[in-house]
Structure 1
Amino acid sequence: MYDTIYRAVTGEARDRAVPRWAADRLGEVAAGRGRVLAVRHPLGFLCLPLERAGERGVCVHVWSDHVPHAGATTSTTHAHSWDLLSYVLYGTLRNELVAVTDEPDGPTHRVCEIESGGDGDEIRRTSRLVRRGGSVTEVHRKGDVYGLPAGVFHETVPVGETATVALGLGRPGAVDLALGDLHTESHRTKRQLCDHDETVYVAGMVVMRLAGSGQRPPGVQPPDPAWGPASRPPRPREDPCGHSTR
């Protein structure tokens, strides 16, 4: 799947091919078919992991006020251990590329390493002290393609309802990083795995957005309003969604 979607995202027909592929795949999920379960990511989006094969992954990321969010235990300034290639299905994202310099004498943050497993994330305090400097803003809108190499510190901020197709290619030896405060201690967190009904809600919401008319495509059930903003608090569950910042 990775190679197929990579060619679609980088090809001249991407504005037809990528949304059509996303609508087809998520239409299956929204109709209750398949084994995909959405994950509440600590960086504020929901991840629909469609493929994870070794160092390659294909996901759909969804930022929405209509679903409960998870929260991070560090700052949201982070760096991937993998190269990102992303296509914006709808909405707008701001990527704040953050300058981070080693500064043991006047630090503002401590670098944490993040190792992810099947049941959550291990956040490890390191001895690396840094200063967070200014940032450069990149704005990505519907139909835009953008890349982000491993190791670049950044924050991703959605502007309204937004969804992307995200392709990740792991870098051997690289580690996921996040900026914690100076006193952050090592700790472990569990991801919040959505259940079947929540996953159907999210997938259906994206498919209807892609349809453009707000009409439900054939075979797709309407999202259950019970999973909107007033729903019960998210429950900690084990998470199959691999890398911590993917």
Structure 2
Amino acid sequence: MGDMEKEFAALIGAARSGDLEAALSKSVLREAKVRRHPLNFLAARVEDDAGQALRLHLFDERFRFKQTGLEVHDHTFDYESFVVDGAVEQTIYEAIPDAGGAYEVLEVSYSHGGSALQRSGRYLQLVEQRRETFTAGETYRLPHGVLHRLDLVGPSATTLVLTRHVGGRPLTIGRSSGDNPPSTARTPVCDTGGNPMTLSTHSISRIVEAALSADQI
């Protein structure tokens, strides 16, 4: 078992015993900057040389940095997610190529601290395959390349995620349009002094509060 897998298992154990925040402050995630994600959650992430990454995701219904209409996407990694608290709903889709389809494939590219979507000129129809709800204490998995969306159920949720990089280029699906797709800065959440917040310096509740403050949204 690799170091990231051991950390993931240890953090799940801490979450089950109610000691997650103390464990996070001592884990490999402790110095990771907490950033806004365009799918409307906060994320702290650290990656090893083997391409495994450990992530903490914080969801709150009050967040307002969502790229509306661009929720369906895939990943270039396999992932395993443990729901610490709250609940999330995952919807899985099948893509059917269709030159006159209502949706366009958008290719994702990353730069330091941000991402951009690029039009591919490939169109399709989306067919919903299934929906599943996962609640506190449950673990679920998704292989790379599967189109899905994840939605918050209830006011808030926290998940721990372990990813294993496979390769390729990630895709996002958007409604067919002539508009240029957006770029996203994925900015860090900062304290009142403008310093990026980490799990070693601030509690989860304080980080969420800072993300919700008027000058942070």
TM-score range, shorter chain: 0.7 to 0.9
Q: What is the TM-score when the length of structure 1 is the normalising length?
A: 0.72
* 1:43 paired to 2:39: yes
User: In structure 1, what is the Cα distance between the partners aligned to 2:85 and 2:68?
Assistant: 28
Pair 1:24–1:73, CA change in 2 (3 A): same
Instruction: Give the aligned partner of residue 2 of structure 1.
Output: 4
Matches within 5 A, 1:84-233: 84-104=79-99, 106-160=100-154, 161-172=156-167, 174-183=168-177, 184-185=179-180, 188-196=183-191, 199=197, 204-205=203-204, 223=206, 227=210, 229=212, 231-233=213-215
Matched AA of 1:126: S
Q: State the identity %.
A: 19
Decide whether the 8 Å contact of 1:85 with 1:145 is kept in 2.
yes
Decide whether the 8 Å contact of 1:192 with 1:234 is kept in 2.
no
Matched AA of 2:65: A
User: In structure 1, what is the Cα distance between the partners aligned to 2:113 and 2:191?
Assistant: 18
User: In structure 1, what is the Cα distance between the partners aligned to 2:163 and 2:90?
Assistant: 17
Report the Cα offset of residue 99 of structure 1: 2.1
Matched AA of 1:188: S
Matched AA of 1:57: A
Pair 1:134–1:176, CA change in 2 (3 A): same
Decide whether the 8 Å contact of 2:69 with 2:174 is kept in 1.
yes
Instruction: Give the aligned partner of residue 20 of structure 2.
Output: 22
User: In structure 2, what is the Cα distance between the partners aligned to 1:199 and 1:166?
Assistant: 20
Report the Cα offset of residue 154 of structure 1: 0.7
Higher strand share: 2
Large movers: runs of 4+ above 4 Å: 17-21, 200-203
Give the SS at the match of 1:193. coil
Decide whether the 8 Å contact of 2:30 with 2:198 is kept in 1.
no
Give the SS at the match of 2:5. helix
User: In structure 2, what is the Cα distance between the partners aligned to 1:233 and 1:88?
Assistant: 29
Pair 1:204–1:121, CA change in 2 (3 A): same
Give the SS at the match of 2:20. helix
Report the Cα offset of residue 159 of structure 1: 1.1
Give the SS at the match of 1:192. coil
User: In structure 2, what is the Cα distance between the partners aligned to 1:178 and 1:228?
Assistant: 25
Matched AA of 1:60: L
Give the SS at the match of 1:199. coil
Report the Cα offset of residue 108 of structure 1: 0.9
- Unaligned runs of 5+ residues in structure 2 are none
- Unaligned runs of 5+ residues in structure 1 are 207-222, 236-246
Q: What is the TM-score when the length of structure 2 is the normalising length?
A: 0.81
User: In structure 2, what is the Cα distance between the partners aligned to 1:56 and 1:226?
Assistant: 30
Report the Cα offset of residue 85 of structure 1: 0.6
Decide whether the 8 Å contact of 1:70 with 1:234 is kept in 2.
no
Q: Deviations over 1:64-123 (max 9, x none)?
A: 246x4422265111111111111111111100112221111x301100110112131121
Higher helix share: 1
Give the SS at the match of 1:5. helix
Give the SS at the match of 1:71. coil
Q: What is the count of residue pairs matched by the alignment?
A: 206
Report the Cα offset of residue 205 of structure 1: 3.6
Pair 1:233–1:136, CA change in 2 (3 A): farther
- RMSD of the alignment, in Å? 3.0
User: In structure 2, what is the Cα distance between the partners aligned to 1:85 and 1:44?
Assistant: 20
